[in-house]
Structure 1
Amino acid sequence: MEKIRCGWCEKDDVYRKYHDEEWGKPVYDDETIFEFLILESFQAGLSWYTILTKRENFRKAFDDFDYKKIASYSDEKIEELMQDTGIIRNRLKILATVTNAQKFQEIQKEFGSFSKYIWGFVEGKPIDNRPKTLKDVPATTEISDTLSKDLKKRGFKFMGSTVVYAHMQATGMMNDHVEDCYLRK
Structure 2
Amino acid sequence: MDTKKIPPQPSDETPQPQDKSREGINLAKVVQFFRLAFVPKYTETFLRLDRFTDLDIGKIRELTGVEIKGIILDVDCCIAPNHGEILQENLEHLRKLIAKGIKFVIYSNMKWSERYEALQKDLPVLTNLPPKPDPKGFEIAVSQLGVPKENVVMIGDNYLTDGGAIGAGIKFIHVNPIRSEHEGFVEKIQNTLRSVGIFLSRFHHP
TM-score by length of 1: 0.28
- Structure number with the higher helix fraction is 1
TM-score by length of 2: 0.26
- Structure number with the higher strand fraction is 2
